[in-house]
């Protein structure tokens, strides 16, 4: 964490930068985490504060409907009332990640379902050699695999939600679901694109859009590899990243 906060007579001064901030350019207030005297603290930074800018990051091939920004802080004055109370350390910003990752585990199932539904409809109507391609064994095998993986992911999320509602969920379980379901959804998007053939890259169908977006979801809110190590540590009791 390169962003630093220094205490002043009137509050604090922030210096640093943040990357890949969703809606950072259009938000009225940003929650910025910075180190203050060696401890991680949270600060509310209002958009019009001098020294604070949030340029939009251009040229994305994925998540193009979302505004993604860089936050730049150069001697940004922060009133003393704008520090988040009641918590210190990295645990504070990390506490919100489990909720986001849980939402992702559900959301990517929706993307997979859209790709599957598109592939089924296409397989039933696309005629090759005088009959629908859905009558061929290899196409049916792809569709069966898609449906099976979607159903397993739905059941995983359903059980995870029940545990969460009972306040018994562990972040390692959420990591397992995020890791599994994102990988599943991306694989289904690719298989659906294969069923559609060259038509799969057209914007007439949603498959390529979902595939491109899922490539980002593999990375954000914790990479596939990071969640692998989280679950691996829980299994073995050994932190492979330490």
Catalytic residues: 221
Tell me how far apart the alpha carbons of residues 39 and 127 are, in angstroms, rounded to a whole number.
64
């Amino acid at each position: 964490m390169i962003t630093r906060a220094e205490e002043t007579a009137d509050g604090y001064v922030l210096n640093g930068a943040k990357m890949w901030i969703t809606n950072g350019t259009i938000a009225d207030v940003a929650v910025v985490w910075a180190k203050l005297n060696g401890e991680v603290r949270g600060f509310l930074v209002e958009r019009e504060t001098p020294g604070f800018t949030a340029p939009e990051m251009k040229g994305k091939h994925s998540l193009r409907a979302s505004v993604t920004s860089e936050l730049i802080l150069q001697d940004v004055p922060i009133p003393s009332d704008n520090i988040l109370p009641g918590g210190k350390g990295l645990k504070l910003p990390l506490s919100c990640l489990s909720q986001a990752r849980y939402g992702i585990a559900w959301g990517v199932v929706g993307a997979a379902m859209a790709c599957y539904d598109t592939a089924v409809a296409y397989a039933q109507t696309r005629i090759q050699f005088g009959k629908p391609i859905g009558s061929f064994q290899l196409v049916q095998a792809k569709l069966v695999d898609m449906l099976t993986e979607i159903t397993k992911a739905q059941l995983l999320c359903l059980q995870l939600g029940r545990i969460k509602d009972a306040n018994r969920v562990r972040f390692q379980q959420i990591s397992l679901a995020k890791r599994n379901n994102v990988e599943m959804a991306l694989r289904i998007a690719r298989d659906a694109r294969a069923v559609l053939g060259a038509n799969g890259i057209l914007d007439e169908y949603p498959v390529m859009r979902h595939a491109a977006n899922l490539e980002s979801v593999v990375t954000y809110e914790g990479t596939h590899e990071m969640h692998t190590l989280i679950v691996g540590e829980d299994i073995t009791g050994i932190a492979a990243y330490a």
